[in-house]
Chains A and B, each alone.
Chain A
């Protein structure tokens, strides 16, 4: 490799090499700017008065205000209740998904049974079912059950979205737990359930936490089902965002304030587990 490291001081690399290095650095900075600047622009907009939003001259010279972050919590926007809904739906989904997925992942990892491969692949493949097709039956089903516009319906739907990912991710981690430590516990007479709770779960904990964060993120950002099933009681944050598109036009500064509220928790969560996050969609087949 032709990086600057290891080159003795005073030595000047040939011009072609220096130009290539310089181009590479430029490309990396462009990449960082492409990721950071749009996010920064939204953050800045959230602290602007409307008149500064609607003029490019005021791009960076403006009087900052906390007014937008206050307004979004007031009537008619009420983002407070939408945050509560989002937390309850995402939290409820994760609390149900993780035990279910861990049990299933354990069975797929440790047992041999008939049609195992076919059943496992069906579970994994169910993540490819497009929302566009299941949304019709869900709508009719929950209408019949009287569950339209409820958080319960959203938890059930999101559970079906995250389960395949969670099963796959957790299975990868359980596969890596050595069988011997389980066997020695069983010799001591521990039941299967105790072995799972006391030995397998702690050993696979990094994977379980990553699966939980991933599931939380997917549910937190889920849009189509929340749009169709929610009316007023079960509205979540993403649906709250499109409420700022009004007859008077788009209220960008409020959208930006709402954008901060929906994004900040996900940034914090994902940075906590970012090392494991990479394998989340491909579950260890790519690391």
Chain B
């Protein structure tokens, strides 16, 4: 106890958390970086192989169509996922912003998809899209005859749509809550003044509401991009990266390379490509979030 008193308070307060973050986040990052410069097939040896410099990275970008395809799949998944989530969440937030009993019920329900297991969501969407007895595939087939009897998960485009839909279902409600929070902090006088001046509802939204909402939308945009880049569970349980490589995003590619091909050094290099993207985004995100203070 005496010794403890001599250590400055911030040090012993911070030590457990910081040591832990260093050991469990920074150390593995570094060790994966080292690993990415080595050749190591777990099937051949349990010991890491020789250092081969940047060869893993060179191979990724010059001689691996599967990796390039997964970059493309990542791009398609992230852009459509983020755009759809943002559009749905903004629309829903503007709708639910008004007072009313049904609206407040809906606001409570919004939390449910977010706390559901993403693995379960993937499994459920697989069930809903089953070609013989999937309820969603049946209902969609009734509305859009061209999609009647389609095997969604065997079609490259539809499989991607399914993966995106499951992720939007998981995230858009939560993002709606975040945007509702942003809308609540807009002073009502600003919008009322515009209405008194005879502005149309659309003009009020475009010229008054939207500009004040932009900081929140920025945060939602970056945060969702980060989580889309990290998405794994729903892809694993819904489409398994298929058909072919059509829904194999970068995160899934790393898993596949490491734990199906056991090519650890190569997987680490691919993982660092993903991590570099994410760290760049996180720098941008932190600037957005802390700018206000």
- The interface of chain A, by Cβ under 8 A from chain B, is 1, 3, 5, 24-25, 27-29, 31-32, 34-36, 38-39, 41-42, 45, 53-56, 59, 99-101, 103-104, 106-108, 111, 113, 119, 121-126, 128-141, 156-157, 159-160, 163-164, 167, 192, 217, 220-221, 223-224, 227-228, 237-238, 241-242, 250, 252, 255-256, 259, 262-263, 266-267, 269-271, 274, 277-279, 281-282, 285-287
Contact = CB atoms under 8 A, between A and B. Distances in A.
A35 B9 contact: no
A38 to B, nearest CB: 6
A5 B213 CA distance: 26
Interface in B197-249: 216, 219, 223, 226, 229-230, 232-233, 236-237
Q: Which 9 A-B pairs have the closest CB atoms?
A: A160-B24, A137-B28, A104-B17, A133-B271, A128-B282, A107-B13, A132-B254, A126-B25, A221-B117
Nearest to A213: B115
B186 to A, nearest CB: 12
Nearest to A168: B289
B282 A259 contact: no
B154 interface: no
Contact of B92 (A31, A223, A259): A31
A54 B35 CA distance: 48
A109 to B, nearest CB: 10
A28 B98 CA distance: 11
Given A126-B25, A137-B35, A223-B119, 7 more contacts: A108-B14, A130-B229, A134-B29, A241-B119, A259-B124, A281-B174, A282-B219
Contact of B233 (A101, A156, A224): A224
Contacts of B251: 130-132
Q: Which of A119, A132, A139, A241 is packed against the most chain B CB atoms within 10 Å?
A: A132
Contacts of A141: 28
Given A123-B21, A130-B275, A28 B115 contact: no
Contacts of A287: 181, 184-185
B133 A53 contact: yes
Counting chain B CB atoms within 10 Å of each CB, which of A38, A55, A192 scores highest? A38
A130 B169 contact: no
B98 A3 contact: yes
A3 B169 CA distance: 29
A159 B16 CA distance: 12
Contact of B112 (A24, A35, A54, A134): A35
Nearest to B249: A132
B24 A156 contact: yes
Contacts, number: 256
Contacts of A39: 112, 116
Given A130-B278, A159-B24, A259-B124, A267 B115 contact: yes
B120 A262 contact: yes
A131 B24 CA distance: 11
B24 A133 contact: no
Given A28-B96, A262-B117, A263-B120, A132 B21 contact: no
Nearest to A228: B259
Given A31-B92, A192-B9, A101 B289 contact: no
A128 B14 contact: no
Contacts of B135: 41, 56, 59
B223 A35 contact: no
A167 B17 contact: yes
Contacts of A121: 286, 290
B16 A241 contact: no
B124 A42 contact: yes
Contacts of B180: 278
Nearest to A52: B133
B43 interface: no
Contacts of A159: 20, 24
B32 A137 contact: yes
Contact of B272 (A133, A140, A192): A133
A85 B183 CA distance: 41
Contacts of B24: 134, 156-157, 159-160
